[in-house]
Chains A and B, each alone.
Chain A
Amino acid sequence: MSDKHMETGEGHIGYPGYFGVFAILVFGTIFTYFSSFWDLDGTLFPGANTLLALAIAFFKMTCVMLFFMHVYWSPRMIWLSAVASLFWLAIMFAYTMSDYFTRSLGVFSV
């Protein structure tokens, strides 16, 4: 296990850091709210609105995980479990959707 972990006082970004992350999160929320009124689906491509909103959500999640949840200073095992859980979620999404997206191709298509 890594030894950089758990040195008292090292495992966080300090007072201004917390407020910086907080400011980013608040900005992200407000930005998500207003960006949802732009018609990106029409101007760019269908799903662009959702993609943008999810990208912001991912960014916010990363901030919370790295700094509020101290993953940045944590041993590799913690990094691994955080990444692995998202990876497994991706497996579940991708393989389930691979069924739905390809179901009407080929012989069954109208």
Chain B
Amino acid sequence: MQNVDAIGSGIPAIPKDNYLTNGFTLKSWLLTKDHKRIAIMYLISISLFFMAGGLYASAIRLELLTPETDLLTSATYNKVFTQHGILMIFFFLIPSIPAVLGNFLLPIMIGAKDLALPRINLLSLYIYWLGGALTVYALLQGGVDTGWTFYTPYSTTFSNSYVMAVGLGIFINGFSSILTGLNFIVTIHTMRAPGMTWFRLPLFVWAQYATSLVMILGTPVIAITVLLLAIERAVGVGIFDPAIGGDPILFQHLFWFYSHPAVYIMVLPGMGVISELISNFSRKKIFGYEFIAFSSIAIAVFGFLVWGHHMFVSGQSIYAGMVFSFLTMVVAVPSAIKMFNWSATLYKGSISYDTPMLYAIGFMGLFLIGGLTGLFLGSMGLVVHLTDTYFVVSHFHYVMVGGQVIAYLGGLHYWWPKITGRMYSEFWGKISAMLVFIGFNLTFFPQFILGYMGMPRRYASYPAEFQVLNIFSTAGASVLAVGFVMPLIYLMHSLFYGKPAGDNPWMLPGLEWRTTSPPPTENFEKTPVVTWEAYEFGEESGLDLEAARTRDSVTTV
């Protein structure tokens, strides 16, 4: 088998014919239909947006170092946190795992040559760029200060910022994510290799499937909502501004009909990555495969039934609120199923603490906190006290950064040898994973306390007695920033100086590890035939567990 050869051959070499060497011109990249190249272009684009959003975050934390409004004026501060939110959510988090890791790996994991609709895939990238360019243009012109939620009537009538341009940027960008989701669903349905049944799919693929469902069913609603907002702002007539007979709560309904499920777009793919990491780095078949697979679908479906919990104090009916509150508790169940199954997978596994696994373990802790505080916020009584405080801010950062960003980094490290053919420095990887974990907790845990004590979000100033905890938070943010910058450096470094990784550096059974690293343009020499279940470790899969245990001495730099 290929794996055995890879292990036996000693020093692996990077194959000559791979997707990276298939054409070097700019045209061969910009007009490619290869999902792997598109994923690389997505990777570069979202990294740029992540850095831009990160700069805004630094500005926020620096401003909050002192109680006074000193570094930024209040008006600028409004723009800064709004733009932080918009860039991070619409241009980083939503495309992060699906468009980069999903795009790259989904066809390989199911044994296909490419996504089913490669031209649509390229189109989605261009739409993403177009939406991003429009948004960046608007930000450079003066930005937007409505908060990422664009609540009416402030956004339609009163805000003096570039709401329309940013709105249209998000409208356009939405279609990029719709097309990605569409492509994934079609691919998973029709492109599976012979023998790759639904229940042999890696759980990452199941998670992508659930995410794609949400993208297709939810994103059009935000598109039409933002379009209505833009029209209303442009012509001064509409259905959201109460001064002309409109209904601002309708905007919130439409907005959250998408934006709550969007939270699951932002965490489901992360859960998929974590399922891969936990099972593979415990070298143990995942516990309760079907439960994890179906809990992804359940999250996608139930996620559409709970949006009202963002509107408990908006004037929404308390009876509707009760239903939404109850369903919020229900939607926690599938997430809990995943957590229990991951824990059960770890039990008696032969765990190796490589960088991706450190991220995965970090995810479990952070997502647990993020998820449970979500239940606090989903209960109608408590939320009256907590609405629009730093408790909320902290909660969703625990889910989105502690969930998706950590999972994304974990996945990126995990598949980096497959994507580039080279190993990064394991030493620096571990250091940065730990820095991210520590920095993250230091940044956001104090915010739970601040929020509980009553510090409201979205203000540039705060009472002096909150300063100590805010200093902790800003200090943590600095550590977090270092943790995020380090991978950028050592991953870039590994591109040129990294040790060739070989086809299967982690010694795992998944289909993506049975092709060369980096993979050839059509992914496999010939269409693979799948005869094994997912996460099947053992000799019969061509894996020598003993060799895998002593792998560290081979691959560590």
Contact = CB atoms under 8 A, between A and B. Distances in A.
Asked if A and B touch directly (CB within 8 angstroms), the answer is yes
Interface of A: 1, 77, 84-85, 88, 91-92, 95-96, 98-103, 105-107
B257 A92 contact: yes
A106 B317 CA distance: 10
Contact of B217 (A77, A85, A103): A85
B318 interface: yes
Given A96-B253, A99-B249, A99-B253, A88 B217 contact: yes
Interface string B288-319: 00000000000000001101100000011111
B385 interface: no
B108 to A, nearest CB: 22
B323 interface: yes
Given A77-B189, A88-B217, A88-B304, A95 B318 contact: no
Contacts of B221: 92
B316 A99 contact: yes
29 contacts: A1-B189, A1-B190, A77-B189, A84-B217, A88-B217, A88-B304, A91-B304, A92-B257, A95-B305, A95-B308, A95-B324, A96-B253, A98-B319, A99-B253, A99-B308, A99-B316, A99-B320, A101-B317, A102-B317, A102-B319, A102-B320, A103-B315, A103-B316, A103-B317, A103-B320, A105-B317, A105-B319, A106-B319, A107-B318
**Chain A at the B interface: mostly helix, strand, loop or mixed?**
helix
Nearest to A92: B257
Contact of B317 (A1, A85, A88, A99): A99
Contacts of A88: 217, 304
Contacts of B217: 84-85, 88
Contacts of B304: 88, 91
B305 A98 contact: no
A5 to B, nearest CB: 12
A29 to B, nearest CB: 27
Contacts of B307: 95
A27 B315 CA distance: 45
Nearest to B247: A100
Nearest to B306: A95
A85 B221 CA distance: 12
Q: How big is the B interface, by class?
A: 20 to 34
A5 B221 CA distance: 32
A107 B317 CA distance: 10
B318 to A, nearest CB: 7
Nearest to A103: B317
Contacts of A96: 250, 253, 257
Contacts of B318: 102, 106-107
Contacts of A98: 317, 319-320, 323
Given A77-B189, A96-B253, A107-B318, A91 B305 contact: yes
Contacts of A106: 318-319
Nearest to B319: A102
A84 to B, nearest CB: 8
B26 to A, nearest CB: 38
Contacts of B323: 95, 98
A109 to B, nearest CB: 11
A85 B216 CA distance: 10
Interface in B350-381: none
Interface string B237-268: 00000000000011001000100000000000
A57 B315 CA distance: 34
Given A1-B189, A103-B317, A103-B320, 8 more contacts: A84-B217, A85-B217, A92-B257, A95-B305, A96-B257, A98-B317, A99-B308, A100-B317
Nearest to B316: A99
B420 to A, nearest CB: 36
Contacts of A91: 304-305
- Highest count of chain B CB atoms <10 Å: which of A95, A102, A105: A95
Contacts of B315: 103
- Highest count of chain A CB atoms <10 Å: which of B217, B307, B315, B317: B317
Contacts of B253: 96, 99
B354 to A, nearest CB: 39
Contacts of A77: 189
Contacts of B189: 1, 77
A100 B247 CA distance: 11
Nearest to A84: B217
Nearest to B314: A99
Contacts of A107: 318
A85 B218 CA distance: 11
Contacts of B320: 95, 98-99, 102-103
A74 B317 CA distance: 42
A103 to B, nearest CB: 4
A95 B325 CA distance: 13
Contacts of A92: 221, 257
Contacts of A100: 317
Contacts of A103: 315-317, 320
A45 B152 CA distance: 36
B419 to A, nearest CB: 31
A84 B213 CA distance: 10
Nearest to A89: B217
